[in-house]
Amino acid sequence: MDDLSIIEMLQNRNESAIGEIRSKYMKLCEYIAGNVLSLHEDVEECVNSACYEVWNSIPPANPKDLKSYICRIVRNIAINRLEYNSAAKRDSRYTVSLEEISDCVPANPDDEVILSDLADTISCFLRSQDEIHRRVFVRRYTYGDSVAEIAERYSLNEKTVATYLFRTRKKLKVFLKEEGYNYE
């Protein structure tokens, strides 16, 4: 089933939409949450919470890209769960990737409208990048892959991946400033 049909089902409050989301995006959601959280139970809880949040947010939300919308929700829930689980002892590899990008993007924006605008702006920026830089960036900051995993996936040197990430973050920071976002 295509995403537009699933969104329409959600807007019509058809409960089978959640089953469609699970069948289409469950493995992806588990992958994203699993890169942030170490316990399988936490991953399952995170995915269930994401489905619940999608159900509660559509309507009024009307996402243009359901996959990105769900990925963002899962990622945010997983990060919140990680913070809850680890409180002061942040030792996850995912925390490192969040620290890397914190110079460009606020960790906890105050307003949901700002968050969706920011997400659209970042998506616009990523569409302007060449394919390999975009894929490396998304693997690191959306899926939470390590630099080594990304290097292996794309047959690159780890230093090359780190350089791509550094340069793309730098460009993103400039782009966001030009668009009126300044989080320093």
User: Are 83 and 96 members of one domain?
Assistant: no
53 and 39, same domain (yes or no): yes
| Domain end call among 88, 122, 146 | 88
Q: Are residues 55 and 97 in the same domain?
A: no
Domain match, 26 and 82 both: yes
Are 2 and 82 in a shared domain?
Answer: yes
pLDDT at 40 (0 to 100)? 87
Q: What pLDDT was estimated at residue 123?
A: 85
* 184 and 121 housed in the same domain: yes
* Domain coverage including residue 35: 1-88
Q: Domain ends where: 55, 88, 121?
A: 88
Residue % of the chain over a pLDDT of 90: 42
User: What residues of the chain score a pLDDT lower than 70?
Assistant: 86-99, 101-103, 105-116, 182-184
3-state helix/strand/coil string of the chain: CCHHHHHHHHHCCCCHHHHHHHHHHHHHHHHHHHHHCCCHHHHHHHHHHHHHHHHHHCCCCCCCCHHHHHHHHHHHHHHHHHHHHHCCCCCCHHHHHHHHHCCCCCCCCCCHHHHHHHHHHHHHHHHCCCHHHHHHHHHHHCCCCCHHHHHHHCCCCHHHHHHHHHHHHHHHHHHHHHCCCCCC
pLDDT digits (tens, 9 = 90+) for 54-76: 999 988 888 888 998 999 999 89
Query: Which of these three, 69, 88, 107, is where a domain ends?
Result: 88
